[in-house]
Amino acid sequence: MNVLESGLFELSKLFLLPVLALILLALAYAFIALGAFATEAWQRARGTYRSRLAAYQATHGGGSDDLELWILQRLEWLRIVSRTTPMLGLVATMIPMGPALLALANNDAKAIGESLVVAFSAVILALISASITFVILTVRRRWLLQELRAIECKGEAN
C-alpha cells in the first residue's frame, strides 16, 4: 500500500472503538426507552396515564405550535437514534472488513473470523436498537398527536 492508502486505513481504524461505544450507548438508550414505553402503554391501557403534553400546556400555556415544538423535542432522541444507528452499524461493519480481506489474502482463517465477528455483531446490535427506537418513535408520535388533537378540540369547545 502506498502512504496515502495506509494513512486512510489507519485513520479509519481509529473510528472503530468510538463507533462501537456509540452503538452500545444506542442499545442501552433503546432498552431504557423500551421500558419507559412499556410503562406508558400499560398506564394507557389501564386508564391511569397522565398526559405530559397536557401538563406542559397547563403550566406553560401556548398554542398548537408551541405544543408541536414540545412534541418534536420529546421525540428528538428517538428519531436521532433510529436514523443514525444503522449508519453506525455500517461503519462498524466496514472497518473490520479491511483486515478480514487482508487475512483472506494471507489464508488466515482465524483472523478473518475475528474481524467478521466484530463486524456482524456490531451491525446486529445497531439494527436492533434502531428497530426498537423506530417502533417507539412511531407509536409515541401517534399518541402525542392524539393528545394534541384532544387539547385543540377542548380549546375549540371552550
Closest-CA residue to 91 (of 1, 13, 7, 4): 13
Span 128-140, average pLDDT: 98
Provide the residue type at 115 as one letter. Answer: S
Predicted confidence (pLDDT) per residue in 89-110, tens digit = 999 999 988 888 788 888 888 8
Which has more confidence, 119 or 89?
89
Residue with more model confidence, 91 or 5: 91
Q: What is the dihedral of CA 55, 59, 60, 65, to 10 degrees?
A: 30
Q: Containing domain of residue 139, as a range? A: 3-42+50-157
**Average pLDDT of the chain?**
93
Q: Which residue has the higher pLDDT, 115 or 141?
A: 141
Tally the domains of the chain.
Answer: 1
CB-based burial of residue 104 (10 Å sphere; 0-12 exposed, 13-18 middle, 19+ buried)? middle
Please write the tens of the pLDDT for every residue from 14-26.
999 999 999 999 9
Residue 30 has which C-alpha cell?
433503546
**What pLDDT shows up at residue 1?**
62
Res 76: pLDDT: 98
Q: How sure is the predictor about 41, in pLDDT bands with cuts at 50, 70 and 90?
A: very high
C-alpha 88/C-alpha 40 separation (Å) is: 29
Task: Please report the pLDDT score of residue 128 as a whole number.
Answer: 98
Cα 63 from chain centre: 30
Q: What is the pTM of this model?
A: 0.89
Q: Which of 54-58, 60-64, 138-142 has the highest mean pLDDT?
A: 138-142
**CA 158 to CA 53: how far, in whole Å?**
19
Q: How far apart are CA 121 and CA 63, in angstroms?
A: 46
Position 51 confidence tier, pLDDT thresholds 50, 70, 90:
very high
Query: Do the Cβ atoms of 35 and 105 come closer than 8 Å?
Result: no
